[in-house]
Amino acid sequence: MANYTKYALEDYDDYDEDDDYSDQDTPVIAAKTVNKPVQKAPVKTPANMDVLNSKLGKTKIHDVAQQKVVITEDPGVARKRHDSESHAADLNQLFINRKKEMLKCKIKKETKSRPKSEKDIINIVIAGDVDSGKSTTMGHLLYLSGKVDERTHKKNLAEATNKGKASFAFAWLLDANEEERDRGVTMGVGKASFDTQNKRVIILDAPGHKDFIPNMISGAAQGDAAILVLNSTIGEFEKGISIGGQTTEHSYLLANLGIKHLIVAANKLDTVNWSKERFNDVSEMLMDSLKESNISFTSVTFIPISGLKGINLHSKAPNNHPLRKWYNGDCIFEAIDKIRNPESHKSNKLRVVISSIIGVTDKSITASCKIISGHLEAGMQVYIIPSIHPCKIKCVDSDEFLSGSGTYYAGDQVVATIVGKLDEIQMSAGLSLCSGGEDALVPVSKFVAKIVLSGVKIPIISGVKVEIFSHSLWAPCTIKKLYATMEPNSYIVKAKSPRLLRPHDSALVEIETEFPVNLEPFKLCEAFGRFTLRHNGETIGSGIVELTD
pTM over 0.85: no
CATH 3.40.50.300 residue ranges of the chain are 120-341
Instruction: Identify the band that residue 425 occupies on the pLDDT scale cut at 50, 70 and 90.
Output: low
Instruction: Report the percent of the chain where pLDDT is more than 70.
Output: 73
Residues 6+ apart with CB under 8 A from 129: 208, 230, 231, 236, 240, 245, 246, 247, 250
Q: 348-439: which CATH architecture? A: Beta Barrel (2.40)
CATH 2.40.30.10 residue ranges of the chain are 348-439, 444-548
Mean per-residue pLDDT over the chain, rounded: 77
440-452 burial code (b ≥16 CB/10 A, e <16): bbbbbbbbbbbbb
Of the CA atoms within 13 Å of residue 496, those in its CB half-sphere come to 19
Q: At the fourth CATH level, which superfamily is domain 120-341?
A: P-loop containing nucleotide triphosphate hydrolases (3.40.50.300)
Q: Which is more confidently placed, 446 or 179? A: 446
Q: Where are the alpha helices (DSSP H) in 184-328?
A: 213-221, 236-240, 246-256, 276-292
Instruction: Identify the band that residue 208 occupies on the pLDDT scale cut at 50, 70 and 90.
Output: low
- Looking at residue 323, its pLDDT comes to 96
Cα–Cα distance between 385 and 389 in angstroms, integer?
7
pLDDT of 533 above 50: yes
pLDDT of 150 above 50: yes
Instruction: Identify the band that residue 32 occupies on the pLDDT scale cut at 50, 70 and 90.
Output: very low
Mean pLDDT (whole number) for 135-151: 85
In whole angstroms, how large is the CA radius of gyration of the chain? Answer: 26
**pLDDT tens readout for residues 221-248:** 778 899 999 999 998 888 888 876 778 8
First to last CA, the chain: 6
- Looking at residue 28, its pLDDT comes to 33
pLDDT of 124 above 80: yes
Mean pLDDT (whole number) for 131-137: 86
Sheet holding 120-128, edge to edge: 190-195, 199-205, 120-128, 225-231, 261-267, 299-304
Lowest mean pLDDT among 133-147, 240-254, 446-460, 515-529: 240-254
On whether the CB atoms of residues 136 and 156 are closer than 8 A, the answer is no
**pLDDT tens readout for residues 346-403:** 678 899 999 888 888 878 889 989 999 999 999 999 999 998 889 999 999 886 655 5
Instruction: Identify the band that residue 42 occupies on the pLDDT scale cut at 50, 70 and 90.
Output: very low
Q: What distance lies between CA 437 and its chain's CA centroid?
A: 26
Instruction: Identify the band that residue 546 occupies on the pLDDT scale cut at 50, 70 and 90.
Output: very high
**pLDDT tens readout for residues 472-505:** 889 999 999 999 999 877 888 999 999 999 988 8
Read off the DSSP letter of residue 108.
-
Q: Which CATH topology does 444-548 take?
A: Elongation Factor Tu (Ef-tu); domain 3 (2.40.30)
Lowest mean pLDDT among 134-148, 273-287, 341-355: 341-355
